[in-house]
Structure 1
Amino acid sequence: MKYSRIGRVVALSSAAVMLLTGCGGGNSTEKKTSESLDKDAKVSITFAGWSLDMTPEFKTLADGFHKSHPNITISVKQYSADDYDKQLTADISSGAQPDVFPLKNMVKYVTYAESKGLADISDIAKDFTSDKNIETSYYKMEDGKYYALPYRADSWVLFYNKDMFKKTGVKEPDGTWTWDDYTKAAKEMKEKLPAAGYDANTYPMYMHNWQSVVQSFALAQSGKSDKQTFLKGDFSYMEPFYKRALEWQNDKLTVDWNTSFTNKVQYQTQFGSQKAAMMPMGSWYAATLLTQRNNGQAEKFDWGMAPIPQNPDTKTPKTPITFGSPTSLAISSKLTGQKMSAAKEFVKWAVGEGGATELAQLSTTPAYIDSKVTDTFFKPEGMANDQQSKDAWAKHDLKLEAPVAKGTDTINSILKDTHSSIMTGTQNVKDGLQEAAKNVKDQGVIDE
């Protein structure tokens, strides 16, 4: 049985398409830069990564590819996880970029395309466009070209502690929850936690301090298009989501935003040490949880994944709507000859089943998902492997964390300040969102 993502990810905005077409991310008139790969030629290429001691996926991909392509050596160049985009942008500007490099999320796609540092890899993309096991359409430009392809595609799911639900007698998530159901279950659990033996520092849920935890769910589940909301500078659709978030912290169903942000609370610790029974989080956390259980940083308990609760104010969709931000691979536009051919061969392998299987062995969610990859992902000891967990991981309508558009970075920056001001009570919800709309309009980045 195949477990492939259902639904189409939000398409690129017309602004992004026009910008990319105008600036020529890969240059339509450029001379031919690649040639047929000589399998006997020894080639070395560089590959960017970050936090290599804690993020094994980069070396795993490099080593896995080398096994099947022994004449191609891949050297991983380490960047700072926090300053990755800043450092990579500087390298591209100076012409010192690695041969192959990840794009952390779609928000920066336009920015990188403007740099003209990304090669046209449409010849690789054509091998995946009709493959139902991977979604690549959001990388296609108006001119039909592709400048990156996804190798992993984390989506947000609801992690929950099955043991805590059993001990408190609260009914587990069943895949049909709305955010109102989520709130109701959290309130019931809060009342029952003391009798079940849990202390005052244990909460029914944990809401992390990132703006996406409120804003991206609101965008994905609003029932409106990006052009009606985010790119129009109208953020009123976020209001009910913020009211719920404030209710959660005011009712002490979660650690409050101030404490989480000021004390740098780690979401891994909250769930892994059983201080929170439920936690919306990206699917990448599954790998972290298994690693921490094995090294003693997390406790061992029965856990699972459920679909993210849905917007109670809209019609319940047949397929759960969640958000995520694919991580993709791009190739330096400076490469030519056998280096370009080797880089393309590596990206093609990494994006496909070969790389996906290697990532799944790390419990990392790849962009390419078929039955083999699914079986591999859920095989490790300690992994949640019930059917609901598998469905939550693989079957959903994935929307982008934010639209791909020229003004997204600016809008996101303004909304980040809005998020903190609302969650700290500095501004009420309505005033905060209206001020954000005004600030965005003043920046001149609204998609008119």
Structure 2
Amino acid sequence: MKFNSACKALAVASAAAMLLAGCGGGSGTDASDKSGAGFDENAKTTISLAGWSLDMTPEFKTLADGFHKAHPNVTINIKQYSADDYDKQLTADISSGAQPDVFPVKTMVKYVTYADSQGLADISDIAKGFQGDKHIDLNGYDHDGKYFALPYRSDTWVLFYNKDMFHKAGVEEPSAKWTWDDYTKAAKELKEKLPEAGYDGNSVYPMYMHNWQSVVQSFALAQSGKSADDTFLKGDFSYMEPYYKRALEWQDEKYTIDWNTSFTNKVQYQPQFGTQKAAMMPMGTWYAAVLVNQQQTGEADKFSWGMAPAPQNPDKKLPSTPITYGSPTSLAISSKISGQKLAAAKEFVKWAVGQGGAVELAKISTTPAYIDDKVTETFFSPEGMASDQASKDAWSKHDRKMEVPVSAASDTINSILKDTHSSIMTGAKSPSDGLKEARQNVKDQGVLDE
């Protein structure tokens, strides 16, 4: 993976201006230099952990309580940030040296900026313990030969589908062999047969495609068969064109709510699938927990559902492992702590990133970054969770690519592509013209990895 210099990051990312104290890449503090004699299990220690939306996001308390149970002498206090302004608030804290002892890197788009901030400890020694472990993916975390964060949760995109609707319409369920052409064919069949099965043809659709740019762009990038270094980071977005043509076809054929309606009316994906307004929906695995909960509370209808792998690129040979995309959430450690506090923070991160934390997250139906048989069994154990083998395989067996490449330029490029997405999906520009304009706009910003 290529990275632009930290000086370049300073020029293209506004957040970096508050973070960077110098222009030397990978300048975080080496945690091993200050860890002293190592973690003392018997020493009473308190460390702080950043989190957001604590009432609705139980993962932070779950990890804190789980680690405390395993290490009773370590107390973890959670500092709440705004979910919407997390990066802005954390940036300010790092700039003033007031960051919590442990904090999430919410999106990988910001990883390079944070890694170059001098506010993160080098935790390469923890990463070394996971290298070669097939149960966790550390791709994208090596920054100039060092690791400044590690993933503790990692949602990937799968295809949610309503088994009852497929069964009643007499349409074959999705499989791991589906391409996007198969997906389109099934949508056409569902559109014809769902009304015959008793569903309202004016309000029930074969699919729902949410209005996020990633639903088109990140699938295209992941399944293009080309490196992001040769496409996204070079400003070549032509690989997205066939994906946009399909997305526009789905709109034109009324297989899904059109983008403009979805965006303007702020349509939420949960009720679209949960109240059986759509038979299929590509979405991140986090939705499984939401659906289980909403079916229990009555916010969603009661119906049988499952997960299938994301459909694959019809222009490429079907891969042996389905290719999809996702964005991990990571944990980093403050460069301002030392001694027993640092040792305890490192012990916590090592536990949270590994099987110990993964099992605790799986208990609350949160998808961890570390997935093995025990974690999978735990995740699928709650009542109401899809429990068929195909759903388990879709959740646990895939080749996950980054939603957005890890680079100092990614934030700027992604912002430009967000505008491109809306212009294409509203019909203001053709896919070809929109993507060419995006290339020129990115080039004008001077951030291309050339």
Provide the C-alpha distance between the structure 2 equivalents of 1:356 and 1:421, rounded to a whole number of angstroms. Answer: 40
Q: Which residues of 2 match residues 323-342 of structure 1 at below 5 A?
A: 323-342=325-344
Q: Shift in Å at residue 139 of structure 1?
A: 1.4
Secondary structure, counterpart of 1:217 in structure 2: helix
Distance 2:32 2:77 in 1: 27
Q: Which amino acid aligns with 1:106?
A: M
Aligned to 1:99: 101
> What does residue 81 of structure 2 align with?
79
Q: Go from structure 1 to structure 2 and tell me whether the alpha carbon gap of 1:54 and 1:374 turns closer, same or farther (over 3 Å shift).
A: same
Structure 2 distance, partners of 1:14, 1:398, is: 20
Other-structure match for 2:445:
443
Contact 2:180 2:313 in 1 (8 A): yes
Q: Which among 255, 261, 264 is matched to residue 263 of structure 2?
A: 261
CA contact under 8 A between 1:350 and 1:356: conserved in structure 2? Answer: yes
* Contact 1:25/1:147 (8 A) holds in 2: no
Determine helix, strand or coil for the equivalent of 1:154.
strand
> Which residue number in structure 2 is paired with residue 306 of structure 1?
308
TM-score by length of 1: 0.94
2:399 aligned with 1:400: no
Task: Tell me which amino acid in the other structure corresponds to 1:414.
Answer: I
**More deviation in 25-34 or 276-285?**
25-34
Residue 114 (structure 2) aligns with: 112
Q: Is the 8 A contact 1:61 1:358 kept in 2?
A: yes
Q: Report the aligned-residue RMSD.
A: 1.7
- Cα contact 1:159–1:280 (8 A) shared by 2: yes
Structure 1 residue 185 corresponds to structure 2 residue 174: no
CA contact (8 A) 1:308 1:321 kept: yes
One-letter code of the match for 2:358?
A: A
Partner of 2:13: none
Instruction: Output the TM-score relative to the length of structure 2.
Output: 0.94
Q: Give the drift of 1:23.
A: 2.3
Tell me if the contact between 1:16 and 1:405 (Cα under 8 Å) persists in the aligned partners.
no
Name the structure 2 match of 1:163: 164
Q: Using the alignment, how far apart are the partners of 2:231 and 2:143 within structure 1?
A: 22
SS at match of 1:156: strand
Q: CA deviation at 1:137?
A: 4.1
- Would the alpha carbon gap of residues 34 and 152 (structure 1) be closer, same or farther in structure 2, given more than 3 Å must change? farther
Cα contact 1:129–1:137 (8 A) shared by 2: no
Q: Distance in 1 between matches of 2:372 and 2:30?
A: 34
- Deviation readout 1:175-219 (Å, 9 max, x if unpaired): 111001100100110111111111121111000000000000000
Q: Deviations over 1:125-166 (max 9, x none)?
A: 1221132211224312333x2111111111100000000000
Instruction: Find out whether 1:285 has 2:276 as its counterpart.
Output: no
May I ask how many residue pairs the two structures share in their alignment? 436
Instruction: Spell out the pairing of 1:11-410 with structure 2 (5 A cutoff).
Output: 12-15=1-4, 22-27=24-29, 31-143=33-145, 145-199=146-200, 200-410=202-412
Alpha-carbon distance, 1:407 to partner:
0.6
Q: Distance in 2 between matches of 1:83 and 1:322?
A: 28
CA contact (8 A) 1:25 1:119 kept: no
Q: Is the Cα contact below 8 Å between 1:19 and 1:110 reproduced in 2? A: no
Q: Output one character per residue of 1:386-442: Cα deviation in whole Å (capped at 9) or x when no partner.
A: 111111111111100111111100000000000011111111111111110000000
SS at match of 1:325: strand
Contact between 1:47 and 1:101, CA under 8 Å: does it hold in 2? yes
Cross-structure match for 1:4: none
1:297 and 1:170 map into 2 onto residues whose CA distance is: 27
Q: Tell me, what secondary structure is at the counterpart of 2:155?
A: coil
Distance change in 2, residues 1:406/1:76 (3 Å): same
- Secondary structure at 2:221 match in 1: helix
Does the 8 Å contact 1:17/1:142 carry over to 2? no
1:74 Cα deviation from its structure 2 partner? 0.7
3-state secondary structure, aligned to 1:410: helix
**Offset at residue 24 of structure 1 (A):** 2.9
In structure 2, distance between residues paired with 1:283 and 1:97: 30
Secondary structure of 2:78 counterpart: strand
Tell me by how many angstroms 1:28 deviates: 5.6
Report if aligned partners of 2:2, 2:407 keep a CA contact under 8 Å in 1.
Answer: yes
- Asked if structure 1 preserves the Cα contact closer than 8 Å seen for 2:6 and 2:113, the reply is no
Q: CA deviation at 1:223?
A: 1.1
**1:33, 1:335 within 8 Å by CA — same for their partners in 2?**
no
1-structure distance, mates of 2:411, 2:82: 20
The letter of the residue matching 2:105 is L
CA separation of 1:447 and 1:301: change in aligned 2, threshold 3 A: same
1:39-79, CA deviations, whole angstroms, 9 ceiling, x for partnerless residues?
Answer: 22111111111111111111111111111111111111111
- Conserved in 2, the CA contact under 8 Å of 1:15 and 1:405? yes
SS for the counterpart of 1:243 is helix
Does the 8 A contact of 2:166 with 2:172 survive in 1?
yes
Q: Which residue of 2 aligns with 1:3?
A: none
CA distance, structure 2, for counterparts of residue 54 and residue 407 of structure 1 = 32
Q: Deviations over 1:100-125 (max 9, x none)?
A: 11111211110111211110111211
Partners of 2:6 and 2:429 in 1: CA distance? 36
Asked if the contact 2:152/2:329 (under 8 Å) is kept, the reply is: yes
CA distance in 2, matches of 1:19, 1:387: 47
Identity of aligned residues (%): 73
Counterpart amino acid of residue 427 in structure 1: K
For residues 50 and 401 of structure 2, what CA distance do their matches in structure 1 show? Answer: 26
Q: Aligned partners of 2:326, 2:268: CA distance in 1, in Å?
A: 20
The structural deviation recorded for 1:32 is 2.4
Provide the C-alpha distance between the structure 2 equivalents of 1:391 and 1:19, rounded to a whole number of angstroms: 41
Structure 2, gaps ≥5 residues long: 10-22
